[in-house]
Every structure is written in structure tokens, then in C-alpha cells.
């Protein structure tokens, strides 16, 4: 979704803005723009050529030569109101070009505000809701000469989740920003001020990073921050520590971020486990940041797990471990559905929200609903101090490092691992599993990074297997038990990246409908690693083969009996059954990767998708 950058006091402002927009491209966008204060006015360039927009924008850097060109705004737009076009790209200006605004989110009441402004003679040049903010600031600046004060006044009129950064020509070094639910961070570095929607935008450039609460306005000027609430009471921006380094958000010689992030999976798991699995310690698991009252946790009699997209699949994959170890009912829900089915929540319910970004609006809204109902909330997030991490009673961070490719890979595996750690922790607390059961899973977790590495080291071999189905155009993924979420995730990855029709089913459900679609032009990808229901998967495979579909297997290394049942097989090491989704998913990431590249698609920035979806 839209990416925002604002800079103040930065001598290479145009370069820094374009570089930030480049690093924010992963969020998904269709057009881009920037404005720089130069020679007493705001000079603006905008491009609307899809994912080439930032590249084209970079060609304008040389046009900004003024010694006063030290402040400006940049934006990658993901269209909501109005088609992708130069006119609708941000920054948006007021009538006179004095005020510039970049914005992420939706102004829900923009139509009524726009009508009022039109009645007062304002002239609009775009179809966006954002432009309303610029014109409202123009009006507010009649009463005050500070853009941050004007923004405070305007913000109270806007409904919806959003983040805004604004500047104006009479004091161009002063940037003003505010947020409601949507992400926004502030950073400084010796006389330089930055505002961005995400950390990678300014990684390596900024020294100190700050969060502001919802409804707090911040004026950022040359490295100084002046934050206040809408009633003008002072507010303290919260400094937080960023441990990500620049090399982890650069491609590092890989063709794309997706292959880099697939290869980083062993490290992502190692870092997520680090220091948490105290095998020889009687406490077993160390989850320092969990910050939950143990009595309260012991009183939990039901768990809901919620997430969107890949994060939802992580919930589904880890549910088996939580149910089996903790002997507690676990319900699953896609976050956008959870709140509307009026689930029964009370202080004995634990709601676990899983989100790579910690900023997905559907999940945030579901989490807020859960907290309002008195349920205990736990968030699994990859971004420290994300909105969800701050909202929840407890948090477990995945330490996968920045993930740039829109489609999640390493954060997905890290989420499953974090949730399985929680399963062990909770089971030990409740005393619902034997020491032997816990030890078996803990040992398997310790061995897991090396097994993942064995697999990622065979990237080229997996591509070879994937190439056998290059010519096919319809894919069905089947699995049972822990193999079912793997099937769903495999199908999602393929849809996201290669735009091929792909569906995932529980293997036993095939005969109740989907089997009607099978013929020799279809591929069935079966998760056939040795687990509790392996024999039943084998039986389902016979049904598939009888319909002539091509069979691609995910099977264990050396399992000739299974391998003989398919036309081709991805081979994965054996592990604890509850951890097999971690290993079994990797070849399916590679399958989606290869089929997308084979068709000439951009794997890092698939069409129509955004990495962080900040609208409902």
C-alpha cells in the first residue's frame, strides 16, 4: 500500500526521497511522485507507469539543483480513489500550490468535505480523497502560520484510518505528520529529519527512530521533533531501537528479493529461536517480551487465531501444535471475517493475531474488537513496535529481518516457529503434555534451521523439478492434517506470483467436488510427506491418477514408495510431524517463483498486490 517519505534539512533530498521510494516499492504501488521546495515554490514531478514509476522519477533528480532544496515529500500510490494517473498521484496540492500532502489510507468522509470546499470555490485537480486534505490545510493556514497546527485542526475533521505528511512554502523545513492506525515512523540524524511509512525507507541514513501514538501530531524540522495531541497538550515520541541492517534490505547480488528471502529462511528461523529454547533449563522456553500474567494465561479456556493471507496459513499450520500440546480448543478465522461473526469472547479467551507487518488493517480491526470484548490478546509480528504489537497484551516477535518481496516467505516460516514455541511454553505452563512430547518437539525445533538449509541449498534442484510443469495452466494442491495449510499456502503463492488458477483442498475433500475439474491438462501437487495420514493421502492420489492429472509430489528424501506414485517429486528432509509444514512449504515457494519467472513476471512486485494492506 502507499509508501510515504518526507525529509527536512537533507542536502541530497531528491536522491534520498527517490531511494526511499525505491525501498518502499515492495509495499505495492502503481504510480509515484515527489515534491521538493526550490526557489520559493514547491516543484513537483509525478509518474504513473506502474512499477516503473520510481525509476522514471529518478530521471528528474538532476532537475532539482537549488541550494535550498533540502526539504520535500515523496509517495508511492496504490490507487483507491481514482485510477492510477499523474493527476491522482501524490503529492497533492491546494489551490495555490502552497501546500503539499502525501497520504496513506482512506478519508471516509471525503465526499462531504469536498462538496463543502467546492461550494467555497476551491478548485480540484484530482479524483483523490487526499486532495481534500491539502485544501483543508489551505483554509486552516489562514488562522495559523504553522503547518503542524493546521494539520491538528484538519485531522479532527477526517474520518478513517490514515497517515499524512504535509509541508508548505512559508516554512518549508517544517514537515507535519499525523496517523490513525496506519503506520508512520519519524527518524532523525544530526540536523536531518525524516518521516516514513516503514523502517527500510531510511535505514542506514537515520540514527534515531521514533513512534508517535494515534492522533498525535508531530512537527519535524531539521532533526527536531515537536509532538502534541490534538488538544495541543505536549506528547512524547517514543524512541525505539532498530536492529535491522542495510544489507538485509538490499538484494545482495540475488536476481530478486524473493530468492534472497527464500535463502535467508534458515537464518530467519535461527534468529527466531535464538535464546528462546532453553532445552536444558527447567523453564524450557524463554519468551521475555510475552509480558502476560501467568495466572491469567492459566485461566484461558479457548484460543482464537486470526490473520490474513499467508499469516492466516501460519495460524492454521500452528493450530495443530497448540491443540495437541495444550489440549485446548483453537478456532481459526480470517481477520476480515472474525469480527463480523460476533465470536463469544471473554477474559478467558486468548486471541492470537499473526501479522508480518503488524499493520494490516483487517487484523488490527479484529484485534481491537477482541480487546474491547475483554479477551487477552497476543500478537506475533515481525516489526518491532508495530501497531499491533503496541495494541496487544503480549507480543512474540519473529526475528526474520526485513521482508521486501510482497509475497511472504521467510516471515511465514518464522511465524510457524514462533507459534510452536508458544505452544511448548503454554503446554509446560498448563502441564498438558509429557516431558517426552515436549522434548521431542523442542529437539526437532533445534534441528530445524539445518534442515531448512539443506533444502534451500538445493534451490537449483527444486527449480529443475518445477520446470517439469511449466507448460501447465491449472493447479490443485492437496494435503491432509498439517499438509492442508501447506496446500493452501502453495496455492496462494502460485496465484500471487504467476497469476495461474490454483486452489488448495484437504485431500479427503477432493472427491466431494473438486475432482470433477481434474483431467490430463491439470496438475495436482500433493503433500505426501510421512505423517499420520500418509496412507490416506496415497489413497487420494490414486483417485487423482485415475483422472489422468499430472502428479507433483512433496515427499521425504529416500521414500521411494511415495516417489514412485508421482510424475515428479520435491524431496524434503524428515522432521517432527508438527514441523513438517515448515519444510514442505519451501519447494512450493520455489515452484511459484519459477513459474512466475518462466512467464516473465516480476516476482517481488506482483500485480494488484500490496505488502502491507492498510485499508479494509
Tell me the per-residue interface mask from 76 to 115 with ligand G6P, x by CB under 6 A, - otherwise: ----------------------------------------
Taking the complex as a whole, the smallest distance from the CB of residue 316 to ligand G6P amounts, in Å, to: 13
Q: Which is nearer to ligand G6P, 318 or 549 (CB)?
A: 318
Give the H/E segment covering residue 271: helix 265-273
Percent of the chain that is helix, strand, coil (3-state, to 5)? 40, 25, 35
Residue with cell 512433496: 554
DSSP letter assigned to residue 87 = T
Taking the complex as a whole, the smallest distance from the CB of residue 1 to ligand G6P amounts, in Å, to: 9
Binding-site member from 8, 355, 387, 456 for ligand G6P (CB under 6 A):
355
Taking the complex as a whole, the smallest distance from the CB of residue 609 to ligand G6P amounts, in Å, to: 5
Cβ(39)–Cβ(234) under 8 Å? no
Q: Which stretch binds ligand G6P (CB under 6 A): 137-145, 350-358, 537-545, 552-560?
A: 350-358
Taking the complex as a whole, the smallest distance from the CB of residue 285 to ligand G6P amounts, in Å, to: 23
Q: Which is nearer to ligand G6P, 311 or 377 (CB)?
A: 311
Among 249, 228, 222, which Cα is nearest to 11's?
Answer: 222
Q: Which is nearer to ligand G6P, 126 or 355 (CB)?
A: 355
Give the H/E segment covering residue 424: helix 410-430
Q: Which is nearer to ligand G6P, 158 or 406 (CB)?
A: 406
Integer CA distances (angstroms), 221 to 36, 75, 103, 406, 451, in order: 15, 19, 19, 32, 50
Q: Which is nearer to ligand G6P, 221 or 489 (CB)?
A: 489
Q: Which is nearer to ligand G6P, 389 or 613 (CB)?
A: 613
Cβ(33)–Cβ(45) under 8 Å? yes
Q: Which is nearer to ligand G6P, 134 or 407 (CB)?
A: 407
Known catalytic membership, residue 308: no
Tell me the per-residue interface mask from 465 to 504 with ligand G6P, x by CB under 6 A, - otherwise: ----------------------------------------
Task: Give the number of other CB atoms < 10 A from CB of residue 224.
Answer: 14
Taking the complex as a whole, the smallest distance from the CB of residue 84 to ligand G6P amounts, in Å, to: 18
Taking the complex as a whole, the smallest distance from the CB of residue 488 to ligand G6P amounts, in Å, to: 12
Taking the complex as a whole, the smallest distance from the CB of residue 312 to ligand G6P amounts, in Å, to: 8
Known catalytic membership, residue 405: no
Taking the complex as a whole, the smallest distance from the CB of residue 366 to ligand G6P amounts, in Å, to: 11
Q: Which is nearer to ligand G6P, 51 or 71 (CB)?
A: 51
Strand boundaries in 431-540, DSSP class E: 474-479, 502-506, 522-527
Binding-site member from 35, 356, 540, 614 for ligand G6P (CB under 6 A):
356
Q: What is the C-alpha separation between 605 and 251, in angstroms, rounded?
A: 14
Among 362, 361, 402, 395, which Cα is nearest to 381's?
Answer: 395
Backbone angles phi, psi at 448, to 5 degrees: -60, -45
Integer CA distances (angstroms), 309 to 83, 488, 495, 496, 549, in order: 25, 10, 12, 10, 27
Q: What is the 3-state secondary structure (H, E, C) of 155-185?
A: HCCCCCCEEEEEEECCCCCEEEEEEECCCCE
Q: What is the C-alpha separation between 198 and 196, in angstroms, rounded?
A: 5
Q: What is the C-alpha separation between 17 and 194, in angstroms, rounded?
A: 10
The count of residues interacting with ligand G6P (CB under 6 A) is 17
Q: Residues 382 to 411: which contact ligand G6P by CB under 6 A?
A: 406-408
Q: What is the 3-state secondary structure (H, E, C) of 316-342?
A: HHHHHHHHHHHCCCEEEEEHHHHHHHC
* Residue 360 contacts ligand G6P per CB under 6 A: yes
Contacts of 200 (CB under 8 A, 6+ apart): 23, 24, 26, 244, 249, 402, 404
| Catalytic entry in 2, 177, 315, 405 | 2
Q: Residues 554 to 613: which contact ligand G6P by CB under 6 A?
A: 609-613
Taking the complex as a whole, the smallest distance from the CB of residue 375 to ligand G6P amounts, in Å, to: 19
Q: Residues 283 to 342: which contact ligand G6P by CB under 6 A?
A: 308-311
Contacts of 56 (CB under 8 A, 6+ apart): 47, 49
Taking the complex as a whole, the smallest distance from the CB of residue 333 to ligand G6P amounts, in Å, to: 14
The residue number with the shortest CB distance to ligand G6P is: 309
Taking the complex as a whole, the smallest distance from the CB of residue 454 to ligand G6P amounts, in Å, to: 26
| Catalytic entry in 260, 410, 493, 611 | 611
527: left (phi over 0), alpha (psi -120 to 50) or beta: beta
Q: What is the C-alpha separation between 166 and 178, in angstroms, rounded?
A: 9
Sheet harboring 224-229: ordered strands across?
92-93, 99-105, 162-168, 174-180, 216-221, 224-229
Contacts of 187 (CB under 8 A, 6+ apart): 193, 194, 195, 196, 202, 205, 206, 207, 208, 209, 210
Q: Which is nearer to ligand G6P, 44 or 260 (CB)?
A: 260
Among 123, 141, 71, 105, which Cα is nearest to 1's?
Answer: 105
Backbone angles phi, psi at 220, to 5 degrees: -120, 120
Q: Which is nearer to ligand G6P, 407 or 444 (CB)?
A: 407
- Judge residue 600's burial from the number of C-beta atoms within 10 Å of its C-beta, 0-12 exposed, 13-18 middle, 19 or more buried: exposed
Q: What is the C-alpha separation between 9 and 189, in angstroms, rounded?
A: 10
Q: Which is nearer to ligand G6P, 258 or 345 (CB)?
A: 258
Cβ(60)–Cβ(69) under 8 Å? no
Residues of this chain that bind ligand G6P (CB under 6 A): 308-311, 355-357, 360, 363, 406-408, 609-613
Active site residues: 2, 611
Amino acid at each position: 500500500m502507499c509508501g510515504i517519505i518526507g525529509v527536512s534539512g537533507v542536502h541530497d533530498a531528491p536522491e534520498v526521497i527517490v531511494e526511499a521510494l525505491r525501498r518502499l516499492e515492495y509495499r505495492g504501488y502503481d504510480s509515484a511522485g515527489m515534491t521538493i521546495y526550490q526557489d520559493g515554490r514547491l516543484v513537483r514531478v509525478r509518474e504513473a507507469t506502474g512499477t516503473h514509476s520510481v525509476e522514471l522519477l529518478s530521471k528528474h533528480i538532476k532537475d532539482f539543483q537549488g541550494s535550498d532544496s533540502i526539504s520535500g515529500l515523496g509517495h508511492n500510490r496504490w490507487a483507491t480513489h481514482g485510477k492510477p494517473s499523474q493527476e491522482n498521484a501524490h503529492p497533492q496540492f491546494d489551490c495555490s500550490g502552497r501546500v503539499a500532502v502525501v497520504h496513506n489510507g482512506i478519508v471516509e468522509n471525503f465526499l462531504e468535505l469536498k462538496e463543502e470546499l467546492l461550494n467555497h470555490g476551491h478548485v480540484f485537480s484530482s479524483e483523490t480523497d487526499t486532495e481534500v486534505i491539502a485544501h483543508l490545510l489551505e483554509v486552516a493556514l489562514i488562522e495559523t502560520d504553522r503547518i503542524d497546527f493546521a494539520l491538528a485542526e484538519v485531522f479532527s475533521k477526517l474520518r478513517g484510518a490514515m497517515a499524512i505528511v504535509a509541508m508548505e512554502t512559508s516554512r518549508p523545513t517544517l514537515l507535519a505528520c499525523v496517523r490513525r492506525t496506519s503506520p508512520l515512523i519519524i527518524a532523525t540524524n544530526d540536523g536531518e529529519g525524516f518521516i516514513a511509512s516503514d523502517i527500510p525507507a531510511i535505514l542506514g541514513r537515520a540514527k534515531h527512530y521514533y513512534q508517535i501514538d494515534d492522533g498525535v501530531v508531530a512537527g519535524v524540522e531539521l532533526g527536531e521533533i515537536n509532538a502534541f495531541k490534538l488538544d495541543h497538550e505536549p506528547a512524547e515520541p517514543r524512541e525505539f531501537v532498530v536492529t535491522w541492517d542495510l544489507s538485509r534490505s538490499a538484494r545482495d547480488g540475488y536476481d530478486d528479493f524473493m530468492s534472497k528471502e527464500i535463502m535467508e529462511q534458515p537464518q530467519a528461523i535461527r534468529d527466531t529461536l535464538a535464546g528462546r529454547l532453553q532445552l536444558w533449563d527447567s523453564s524450557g522456553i524463554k519468551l521475555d517480551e510475552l509480558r502476560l500474567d501467568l495466572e491469567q494465561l492459566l485461566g484461558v479456556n479457548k484460543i482464537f487465531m486470526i490473520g490474513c493471507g499467508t499469516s492466516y496459513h501460519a495460524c492454521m499450520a500452528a493450530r495443530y501444535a497448540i491443540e495437541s500440546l495444550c489440549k485446548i480448543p483453537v478456532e481459526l478465522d480470517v481477520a476480515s471475517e472474525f469480527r463480523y461473526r460476533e465470536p463469544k469472547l471473554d477474559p478467558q479467551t486468548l486471541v492470537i493475531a499473526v501479522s508480518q507487518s503488524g499493520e494490516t488493517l483487517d487484523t488490527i480491526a479484529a484485534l481491537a474488537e477482541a480487546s474491547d470484548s475483554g479477551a487477552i490478546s497476543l500478537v506475533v509480528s515481525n516489526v518491532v513496535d508495530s501497531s499491533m504489537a503496541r495494541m496487544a497484551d503480549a507480543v512474540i516477535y519473529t526475528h526474520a529481518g526485513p521482508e521486501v518481496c510482497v509475497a511472504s516467505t521467510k516471515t511465514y516460516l518464522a511465524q510457524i516457529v514462533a507459534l510452536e514455541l508458544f505452544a511448548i511454553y503454554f503446554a509446560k505452563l498448563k502441564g498438558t503434555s509429557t516431558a517426552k512430547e515436549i522434548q521431542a518437539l523442542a529437539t526437532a525445533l533445534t534441528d530445524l534451521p539445518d534442515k531448512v538449509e539443506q533444502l534451500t541449498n538445493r534451490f537449483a534442484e527444486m527449480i529443475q523439478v518445477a520446470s517439469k510443469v511449466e507448460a501447465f495452466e491449472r493447479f490443485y494442491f492437496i494435503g491432509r492434517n498439517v499438509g492442508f495449510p501447506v496446500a493452501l499456502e502453495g496455492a496462494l503463492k502460485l496465484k500471487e506470483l504467476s497469476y495461474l488458477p490454483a486452489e488448495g483442498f484437504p485431500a479427503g475433500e477432493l472427491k466431494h467436488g473438486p475432482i470433477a475439474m481434474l483431467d490430463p491438462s491439470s496438475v495436482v501437487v500433493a503433500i505426501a510427506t510421512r505423517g499420520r495420514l500418509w496412507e490416506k493421502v496415497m489413497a487420494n492420489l490414486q483417485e487423482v491418477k485415475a483422472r489422468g492429472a499430472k502428479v507433483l509430489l512433496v515427499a521425504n528424501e529416500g521414500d521411494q514408495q511415495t516417489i514412485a506414485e508421482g510424475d515428479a517429486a520435491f524431496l524434503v528432509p524428515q522432521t517432527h510431524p508438527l514441523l513438517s509444514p515448515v519444510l514442505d512449504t519451501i519447494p512450493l515457494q520455489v515452484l511459484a517463483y519459477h513459474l512466475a519467472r518462466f512467464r516473465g513476471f516480476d516476482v517481488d512486485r506482483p500485480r494488484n498486490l500490496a505488502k502491507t494492506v492498510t485499508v479494509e
